[in-house]
Amino acid sequence: MNILDKITLDKRKEVALRKDLIPISQLEQSVLFERETVSLANNLRHSKSGIIAEHKRRSPSKSVINNGLNVQDVAVGYATAGVCGMSVLTDGKYFGGSLDDLLTARASCDLPLLRKEFIIDEYQILEAKANGADVVLLIAAILTRKEIKQFSELAKNLNLDVLLEVHNEEELQKSLMPSLDMLGVNNRNLKTFEVSLEISKALSKLIPDDFVKVSESGISSVEAIKELQPYGYQGFLIGENFMKTDNPGLSAKQFIKDLEA
């Protein structure tokens, strides 16, 4: 069983428990449920840098990245730096995140927020909306085509953007549908954890231009972005690179400055 299978298995148990604790009717009564969302896809289309900066405490591949920072400081720093959006990990067991992190980020900035989560149930999309997200992530590797359709259509009905993540051509082919806004190519092989930008390059020509192309994982330099831009990528998800520093906002600001120089 690879790490993704393990996470998904745990996630099913976790979501079942949460559904018992907080009914959907309660989620729908949240103040944030009525909030007007901000489109990350639109931001990326009109940006020179395309940076989506992440809040991530730890990961299965790197263990602890940064446990010492509070989400509010990171969110304010990213907003000041001028990133296009912020990704907030809400998985507790493997990444040390929570929905509270999403709520805190929402209270701290006006950036489009992506709930970075392993979504296996419609309930999590309603949770995302109730906790101030603007975008949800769907991972093709853990979902059937039917689920991708069902989940993305629900997200669109809630005015949430959808970022669909793929790792290979097979996942891409089963996933293409009009209810997606962005297609993310994860450069990390989730079985081996090896990272290669060649994955983004190879899949770029198979992604129709109606979708905003996003490259994820292993982007730690301005050079990497400049290498990917000619392949049509407009979004770049950067987590560890900023989070491993003492001041992620400042790192992001310098990064964007170097990129746009």
Provide the annotated active-site residues: 54, 56, 116, 165, 186, 216-217
Q: Give all strands (DSSP E) within the chain, no chain letters.
A: 51-55, 58-59, 63-64, 85-89, 113-116, 135-139, 161-166, 182-186, 212-216, 233-238
Kindly give, in sequence order, each residue whose CB lies less than 8 Å from that of residue 168, ignoring residues fewer than 6 positions away.
Answer: 199, 203
Token pair belonging to 86: 């912020």
The torsion angles phi and psi of 220, rounded to 5 degrees, stand at -120, 5
Q: Per the structure block, which two tokens stand in for 162? A: 């959808």
Tell me the backbone φ, ψ of residue 78, rounded to 5 degrees: -65, -40
